[in-house]
Structure 1
Amino acid sequence: MSDIPAQPTAPAINPVLRTVLLWTGIAAVVLIVLGGGIGFLVAGTDGLWSGLAGVGLAVVFLALTPVSVLIANRFYGREMFATVFFGIVMGGWLLKLVIFIVAIVILRGQSWVVPGVIFGSLVAGIIVSLVIDAVAFSRLRVPHVSDIELPTRDPEAREDS
C-alpha cells in the first residue's frame, strides 16, 4: 500500500453554499425590479436610485459570507486549513464592515437618497436572504461528521498485546 494520503474530497457544505448563491442571485433580480419600481412609484427617480442602492448593498453584504466560505474551502485538507479558513472568513466580515462604513459615509450626504426607500429595500434584501439561507440549510442532508475520515486498521499489522 502507498503512504501517499488520498486527496480529500471537497467539504459537504459547498453544494449548499452554491445553491444559496444561485437563489440569492435570482432573488436579487426580483428585488431590483421590486425595490426600484416601488422606489420610483414612491419618490420618482430619487426613489428608484435609492431602492437600487439598498438592494445592491443587501446583496453584496449577504453574498460575501458564502463566497468567502467557498474560497476558504479550497484549502480543505491542507495542513493549515482551520487557520486559513477562519482568516478568510473573518477577512470577509471585516470587508463587509469597511464597505458598510464607506457606503454610509458616501450615501449620507447624497441629495438623491430617500431614507425610507433605501432602508426598506435594504431590510427587504436582508429578510429575503435570511429566508433563502433558512430554506437551503433546512434541506441540507449532511451527517454531522460528513467530512471526517476515520483511520483504518492495517489488516497485515500484527498485534503484540
Structure 2
Amino acid sequence: MTTASPAARRPLSSTPFLRTALVWGGIVTAVLLVAGAVIGFAVAGPGGVGSAVSGVGVSAVFLAVTAASILIANRWFGDPLYVPIFFGIVLGGWLLKLVLFIVAIVILRGQDWVDPKVFFVALVVSVIASLAVDVVVLLRMRVPSASDVDLPTDPDEGDRRA
C-alpha cells in the first residue's frame, strides 16, 4: 500500500477561490434572475420575463461548468495521472459547454416567446457580472505566489520541516 504525498493530503490553493466564486456567482445569478424578470416584463411583457430568465440561466450554467470541472478535476491532485485527468475533465467541460450552447441556441431560436434583445442583454449582463465576481473574489483571496509546492529536502540533513 502506498501512502499519499503531503501535497495530496492538503487542498489546492485554487479550491477556496473556486468554491467562493461559485457561491457568490450563485447569489449574483439569483439577483439577476429577479432583476431580469422584472425589467424583462417592463420592457417586453411576459416574453421578456422568459427571455431574461433564459439569458441569465444560460450564462450561469456555462460559467459554472468551468469552475465545477476544475474543482472536480482537482480531486485527483497528487495522483501520478493528475495532469491528463485534469485537462481531460476541463476540456470535456468546455466541449460540453459548446454542445449545450448550440443546443440552447437552436431550441431558443425558434420560440415565439423569446425577445432576442432582452435575451442578449440579459446574457451579456450576466457574463459581465460573473466576471466581476471572479475578479473581486480573486483580489480578496490571499494565496501565496509559490503555493502547492513541496520543496525537496537535503538527503544528508534529513527533513528540516520537523
Note whether the superposition's TM-score is higher than 0.5: yes
Counterparts of 1:30-109 in structure 2 under 5 Å?
30-109=31-110
Distance 1:91 1:5, change over 3 A: closer
Distance 2:54 2:144 in 1: 40
Greater C-alpha Rg: 1
Distance 2:154 2:4 in 1: 15
Unaligned ranges ≥5, structure 1: none
For each residue in 1:49-75, what CA deviation from the matched residue of structure 2 results, as whole angstroms up to 9, or x when unmatched?
Answer: 111000100100111111000000000
Deviation at 1:155, TM superposition (A): 4.3
Higher mean C-alpha deviation, range 148-157 or range 130-139: 148-157
List, as ranges, runs of 4+ consecutive aligned residues in structure 1 with deviation greater than 4 Å.
Answer: none
Structure 2 residue 24 is matched with structure 1 residue 23: yes
For each residue in 1:25-45, what CA deviation from the matched residue of structure 2 results, as whole angstroms up to 9, or x when unmatched?
Answer: 100110000111110111111
Distance 2:34 2:5 in 1: 48
Deviation at 1:111, TM superposition (A): 0.5
Partner of 1:142: 143
Deviation at 1:156, TM superposition (A): 6.4
Partner of 1:125: 126
- 8 Å CA contact 2:5–2:78 kept in 1: the answer is no
Q: Percent identity?
A: 52
Partner of 2:5: 6
Partner of 1:111: 112
Q: How many residues align?
A: 155
Aligned residue identity for 2:50:
W
Deviation at 1:106, TM superposition (A): 0.5
Deviation at 1:95, TM superposition (A): 0.7
Distance 1:48 1:104 in 2: 17
Deviation at 1:141, TM superposition (A): 1.8
Deviation at 1:145, TM superposition (A): 2.0
Distance 2:137 2:36 in 1: 24
Normalised to the residue count of structure 1, the TM-score between the two structures is 0.91
Distance 2:121 2:110 in 1: 19
Deviation at 1:46, TM superposition (A): 0.7
Distance 2:31 2:128 in 1: 13
Deviation at 1:143, TM superposition (A): 1.9
Distance 2:40 2:19 in 1: 30
SS in 1 for 2:52: helix
SS in 2 for 1:65: helix
- 8 Å CA contact 2:47–2:113 kept in 1: the answer is yes
